[in-house]
A = this chain, B = another copy of it.
Amino acid sequence: MTTSERRRGRPREQRVDDAVRRATLELLAEVGYGALSIEGVAARAGVGKPTIYRRYRSKAELVFVTAIHPLELGPSPDTGSLEGDLVDLVQAIIGVFRRPAAARAVPGLIEDVSRDPELARRFRDRFVEPERLWVGEILDRAVERDELGVRPDPDLVHALLLGPVFSWIFLARNPVRRGLAKELAEHVSRAIVPAR
């Protein structure tokens, strides 16, 4: 491995993070989620297994953070309207699920999480809860703008946003057409804004 370019003043930890991230994305694309291993990522990144286990508790967590991480980001940007905020969020979800690494990782991740209650609990705390808070912020702003009278259940709205995108791409496996984010967001907006 050539490491000369990586030595220009960036801290070693950052270089290791980058190498692990790159190795994970490469291996996801090459061998898929099922055949990816912590050993393989360590070898490709030129680090030891303990280096990876200090950062991630499991293969599932490594892959989720690396391939799907942006959903964890916040705060949610304020576009000025509920529908605008929802379009942005649905577009972000579509963007994540369409990345080759995520598309290859998601089904296997779901299976791992479904088989391991402890992993499922950690996923809930680490990923589902932040997404729920993100949705909650969007709803709070809509209430402040008087677009919503009553704040709907964030769990339900989360399901109405994430679920159809997942179903479109991974269950029905429809092609993602231009404007899909806007169509879905408009529908969800109508679903949660009560008739006046």
Residues of A within 8 A of B (CB): 32-34, 103-104, 106-108, 110-111, 113-115, 120, 123-124, 128, 132, 155-156, 158-160, 162-168, 170-174, 183-184, 187-188, 190-192, 195
Given the complex, which residues of B lie within 8 Å of A164, measured CB to CB? Answer: 156, 159-160, 163-164
A165's closest neighbor in chain B, by CB? B163
**Cα–Cα distance between A94 and B124 once the two chains are bound (Å):** 20
Q: How many copies does the complex hold?
A: 2
Q: A163-B171, A171-B166 are in contact. Are A156 and B187 (CB under 8 A)?
A: yes
Instruction: Give 19 A-B contacts (CB < 8 Å), ordered by A residue.
Output: A33-B111, A110-B111, A110-B171, A113-B173, A114-B170, A124-B172, A128-B171, A128-B172, A156-B187, A158-B172, A160-B164, A162-B167, A163-B163, A163-B165, A163-B171, A164-B164, A166-B171, A187-B191, A190-B192
Cα(A103)–Cα(B110), bound, Å: 12
Query: How far apart are the CA atoms of A25 and B166 in the complex, in Å?
Result: 26
Q: Provide the bound-state CA to CA distance between A171 and B109, in Å.
A: 10
Interchain nearest-CB distance for A164 vs B (Å): 4
Query: What is the bound-complex CA distance between A173 and B131, given in angstroms?
Result: 13
Whether B156 and A163, one on each chain, are in contact in the complex, defined by CB atoms closer than 8 angstroms, is no
By a CB distance below 8 angstroms, the chain B residues around A132 are 172
CB distance from A109 to the nearest CB of B (A): 9
